[in-house]
Amino acid sequence: MAAVSFKHVRKVFGETVSIPSLDLDIRDGEFVCLLGPSGCGKTTTLRMLAGLEQPTSGAIHIGGTEVQELPPAKRDIAMVFQSYALYPHLTVAQNIVYPLKKRGVPKQEWPAMLNNIAQLLQLEPLLERKPKQLSGGQQQRVALGRALIRKPKVFLLDEPLSNLDAKLRAHMRAELIELHQRMGTTTVYVTHDQLEAMTMSTRIAVMNGGVLQQFGTPDEIYYRPANQFVAGFIGTPAMSLIDGDLQRDDTGFSLHAGGVTVRLPHAALRADASGEVCVGIRPEDIVLGRGTLSARIKVVEPTGHESIVLMDCGGASLCTRIASDVPLAAELRAGQSVPFEITLARLHIFSRQSGQRMNRDDTNVTSIKRTRDAA
């Protein structure tokens, strides 16, 4: 196991600045997801850590050793890609022990190591099969086994579940969490799927345009997004983001947005907060059927246990959710006006100029306790 750090790491491909300057410190034993939209630099970051790309400048450390000049084989990392690339002519057992052969581990040590991994990944009944006789999830487990057998310091995964169907993905997510809890290997995992990142990570590094936007626990990212990008990117359905105007006076702040004015205490926002802002409201922080505010329903989308409701409030689009067992849920129709209230303590306020968060998070928002401990 080992900590990983990127210090002022820059990567330029020809004319394209892929990563302008990345600083990221991953603790020993963490499970960190690099999350962001296509082209944000996740894979480039992972490949630099693996030694498959050379940083243009800056330093990368694994376990305190500077590695950016070292070839992949000298970094003590193991990598699993989206395509598992198993050897089709070898059995599961032969595939798994392959790295031991390559690294010159004495043959008499192989069976114990193989048994250990096969047990961990529940592959014992499959050891004599060839890859084409396995399901996608089983193949994925073999690929994980092959990567894990020599106990790397750092485990790197690049969208390893994206070829699997939704049910199997959910299953493998749980398996990966369990595996990490048992092995405790520092893991860096690339994904554009926020559900994967939210469920598996000890911390998430949200990237956009090659720039790290926020590095925090899933709850920090969800409840205290550092800027407007993170606010809009994390959460399904997405947070409603509406333009507003903020004025500070002697007794607090007046916030005008969507034709509505609300008062917020001084303690809620930074002292310098004022002017043009963007107001973020999570769907669950809009409560339908009570309160003094009113919106017109545009669309009701039943999803089973709840409905997603899109509404218009003074020209601003709002999205909320309502549980199906609430009697009001069955009555909601497009075109209707519906009263609602907002949990003001959960409003997210961003500067429209800089995009940065203006809440004072010591007083605002749910206390953040839930987090998956690093192993």
Q: Which is nearer to ligand ATP, 162 or 294 (CB)?
A: 162
CB nearer to ligand ATP: pick between 16 and 108: 16
- Give the residue carrying structure tokens 């849920």: 329
Helix or strand holding residue 312 (H, E)? strand 306-313
Angle at Cα 224 formed by Cα 218 and Cα 229, nearest 5°? 90
Query: Whole-number minimum distance, CB 230 to ligand ATP, in Å?
Result: 15
Q: How far is the CB of 210 from ligand ATP (least distance, A)?
A: 6
Residue 157, token pair as written in the block: 């995964």
Measured between alpha carbons, how far is 368 from 36 in angstroms, rounded to an integer?
23
| Least distance CB 205 / ligand ATP (angstroms) | 11
CA distance 343 to 362: 17
Measured from the CB atom, the residue of 49 and 313 that comes closer to ligand ATP is 49
Strands of the sheet containing 252-257, edge to edge, are: 260-264, 252-257, 240-249, 275-281, 348-351
Residue 153: both structure tokens together: 């310091």
For ligand ATP, which is the closer residue by CB, 43 or 240? Answer: 43
Task: Name the site residues for ligand ATP (rule: CB under 6 A).
Answer: 13, 16, 18, 36, 38-44, 192
- Cα–Cα dist 109/121, whole Å: 19
The tally of CA atoms less than 13 A away on the side-chain side of residue 17 is 11
Distant-in-sequence, close-in-space partners of 58: CB < 8 Å, separation ≥ 6: 6, 7, 8, 9, 10, 21, 22, 68
Residues whose CB falls within 8 Å of the CB of residue 124, separated by 6 or more in sequence, listed in order: 115, 118
Nearer to ligand ATP, 12 or 334 (CB): 12
Q: Which residue's entry shows tokens 């395509």?
A: 83
* 43 vs 320, beta carbon nearer ligand ATP: 43
Are 34 and 205 spatial neighbours (Cβ–Cβ below 8 Å)? yes
DSSP state of 308: E
CB of 311 to ligand ATP, least distance (A): 33
Strand ranges for 95-162 from DSSP E: 154-158
Residue 299 in 3-state DSSP? strand
CB of 61 or CB of 192, closer to ligand ATP:
192
Give me the least distance between CB of 40 and ligand ATP, in Å please: 4
| Cβ contact 206:234 at 8 Å | yes
CB of 220 vs ligand ATP, minimal distance in Å: 22
The least CB distance from residue 222 to ligand ATP, in Å, is: 21
DSSP element (H, E) containing 8: strand 4-13
Q: Is the CB of 82 or the CB of 94 nearer to ligand ATP? A: 82
Q: Which is nearer to ligand ATP, 210 or 235 (CB)?
A: 210
Least separation in angstroms between residue 231's CB and ligand ATP is 19
Select from 92, 354, 360 the least CA-distant residue to 228: 354
Min dist CB 37 to ligand ATP, Å, is: 7
